Amino acid sequence: MKIAVAIAFILIIGSLGSALFFLMRDKGKSNNTVRALAMRVGLSITLFLLILLGYKLGYIQPTGIRQ
C-alpha cells in the first residue's frame, strides 16, 4: 500500500510539472495545460479513494498521535 501511495504522489507531481512546462512553452494557447491539470485532479481523487478503500479493507491502520 505504501508503494502505491508513493507512486501516486510521484505521478501527481509529474502531472503538475508537465502542466507548468506546457504553460511556459505554449503561453496558454493550447489545451495541454488544462489536460495536465485535469489529470492531476483525477489522480488526486483516485489517491484519496485508494486510501479510503485501504482503510476500509484494513490495509491501513490508524496509529494516532504519538507524544
pLDDT digits (tens, 9 = 90+) for 36-48: 889 999 999 999 9
- The CA-based angle 26-30-33, given to 5 degrees, is 80
Q: Where are the domains of the chain?
A: 2-57
At 60, the pLDDT band (50, 70, 90 cuts) reads confident
* pLDDT (average), residues 4-24: 90
d(CA 56, CA 9): 21
Helix axes 32-57, 2-26, angle to 10 degrees: 170
* pLDDT (average), residues 19-35: 85
d(CA 15, CA 40): 6
Residue whose entry in the numeric block shows the C-alpha cell 508503494 = 3
- The CA-based angle 38-56-9, given to 5 degrees, is 35
